[in-house]
Structure 1
Amino acid sequence: MSGNDLPAMMTPAEYQAQIQPVRLQAMTPPHQVHRVPVRTQSLTTVPQQRPVQPQQQMQQQMQQHQHQQRHRSAHNPPSQAVNRQHSTMPPLPAPIDPLYQIFSTVDKDGSGRLSASELRSALVNFDKTKFDPETIKLMIKLFDSDGSGTVNYTEFKRLWNYLGEWLERFQQFDLDHNTTISLDEFSLALQSFGFHFSPGFVRFMFNHYDKRGTGSISFDLFVQANITLQRIHDAFRKYDRGQGTIQISLEDLLTEVLYLK
């Protein structure tokens, strides 16, 4: 399968379903059959000789075969024979990495790095809608290790595996299997992650991430909501003295807010 045969957009679930184990079969050269000529003598030319018994005839053939093998080995050393045999073996095909093919397909400028727009063309939801730009921005911020604003293949591979982990969580809380998260499913997910908010705040947060106004949250927005919440929680813990409330200066608050952006 070539890079052009792959769709430009593919969900994590489709990618996992498409990958098949690459079976590499080593091609061995056909066996060469050596026919050993057997010399026979007519019984009419040796009237006084007793007929050769089958066992004696077999011994004679084996002796002749050994003699011919020694003669052949003298002219063809074993190392040369082995080298000739291996030279006839075709090279093994290189393994195919479907994820790299996806990366190459969306890397339109061939730079070896994916910009935000290129990454967005590689990530879609179950309904084929593209990931929200804020989710793309968040993914780049998490995996862009050199601060270039792009992701190379190594970073893209980590990002893809990370989304695969979130996909498992998403499917765990998608109780009705409609590929979206409802308000009740969202509340259950927050509780399982250790967040115990009031019903009013859970609804407020749910409505904030229901950006398409469908009364549900798609996979990309589910990831965005939970990662953002976790980052805010980590920032909160820096100032928490174990009381569940903090005192923070305006400067520190703005620093944390701007860092999260």
Structure 2
Amino acid sequence: MAYPYQQQPQQQQQQWYGPPQQGGGMPPQQPQGQQYYYQGQPQQGGMSQQPQHQQPGHYAGGAPPPQQQQQQQQQQPPRPGAAQPQGWCGQYYSQIPQQELYELQRWFRSMDRDNSGSISANELANVAVGGSVLGIDNGMKLIRVFDVDGNGTIDFNEYASLHKFLLSMQQTFKMGDKDGNGRLDAREIHEAILKGGFTNVSFKAAQGLYNKYNRSGMGLNMAEFISIVAHIALARSVLERLDYDRDGRITVNIDQMYEISANF
């Protein structure tokens, strides 16, 4: 499905997300003017299907430089027994085959512009989703959601969960856009949120979020939908961290309420 706000080459009409153009953390030594698109058409559950001649996670600009290829061969993904994301966001990590973890390293390195081994909110803010960059607000929210160890950045394991989450939300948006106009209207948004896995969001809450993020007044585009699910994901993560007895309810004092509200 092509979106009116998303410029893609004519031969590519696929959903995508990935690093932005020059200055946005793409692999070096690529021809100028070459745009980078994620080639996978996400399937339900966030899995991506690739043409046989192209491996998942590769950019349209061709193979990386030889030095980067050598680094990719030498670097190993985390072992199954290594620390992995927990909680509700850990479900996305569990969907990733071991081979795909190798391929996701290229994405991770291209976004890690300072080569620190982790991705900050500023680096994540430059990632393009649906033709628009995430922006610092979404970047900060998603960092808080997927930063399991609480160090303020996301490492490779945490990034892998985030990557799968974004692919899953892309597919959810496409499925929810029943009239194919590239936007979700007030009737479509609640169903899309439910299909995205947030089954405890009421119709009233969905309408409130729709009104908050429908900045154009013309319905939600992909980037605005990501803003909504980032908001919901953060709220769910905050609840999960404070719900010590896991009954879906929390009791907070005024100081904790201030702290929670600061996240939004």
- 2:106 maps to 101
How far is 1:10 from its partner? 4.3
How far is 1:186 from its partner? 0.8
1:211-230 to 2 correspondences below 5 Å: 211-218=215-222, 219-230=225-236
Which residue type is aligned with residue 172 of structure 2?
A: R
Residues 104-126 of structure 1 show CA distances to partners (whole Å, capped at 9, x for unaligned) of 223222222222222222x3222
How far is 1:162 from its partner? 2.2
Quick check: 1:116–1:140 contact (8 Å CA) kept in 2? yes
- 1:188 maps to 191
Distance 1:238 1:8, change over 3 A: farther
How far is 1:207 from its partner? 1.7
Quick check: 1:9–1:124 contact (8 Å CA) kept in 2? no
| Gap runs ≥5 in structure 1 | 24-92
- 1:80 maps to none
1:171 aligns with 2:174: yes
Which residue type is aligned with residue 112 of structure 1?
A: G
User: Aligned partners of 1:156 and 1:235: how far apart in 2?
Assistant: 19
After superposition, the CA RMSD in angstroms is 4.2
1:21-100 to 2 correspondences below 5 Å: 94=73, 97-100=102-105
Quick check: 1:209–1:225 contact (8 Å CA) kept in 2? no
Distance 1:207 1:232, change over 3 A: farther
User: Aligned partners of 1:229 and 1:12: how far apart in 2?
Assistant: 31
Distance 1:228 1:211, change over 3 A: farther
How far is 1:183 from its partner? 1.3
- 1:137 maps to 140
- 1:205 maps to 209
User: Aligned partners of 2:251 and 2:112: how far apart in 1?
Assistant: 46
1:120 aligns with 2:86: no
Quick check: 1:116–1:137 contact (8 Å CA) kept in 2? yes
How far is 1:252 from its partner? 4.3
User: Aligned partners of 2:180 and 2:252: how far apart in 1?
Assistant: 42
Distance 1:106 1:232, change over 3 A: closer
- 1:27 maps to none
Distance 1:191 1:125, change over 3 A: closer
How far is 1:9 from its partner? 5.8
3-state SS of 1:253 partner: helix
How far is 1:255 from its partner? 4.2
3-state SS of 2:180 partner: coil
Residues 214-233 of structure 1 show CA distances to partners (whole Å, capped at 9, x for unaligned) of 43242422422432453576
TM-score by length of 2: 0.52
Distance 1:8 1:118, change over 3 A: farther
User: Aligned partners of 1:148 and 1:12: how far apart in 2?
Assistant: 32
User: Percent identity over the alignment?
Assistant: 20
| Structure whose alpha-carbon radius of gyration is higher | 1
| Gap runs ≥5 in structure 2 | 1-26, 43-47, 56-71, 74-98
Quick check: 1:10–1:124 contact (8 Å CA) kept in 2? no
Distance 1:156 1:20, change over 3 A: farther
TM-score by length of 1: 0.52
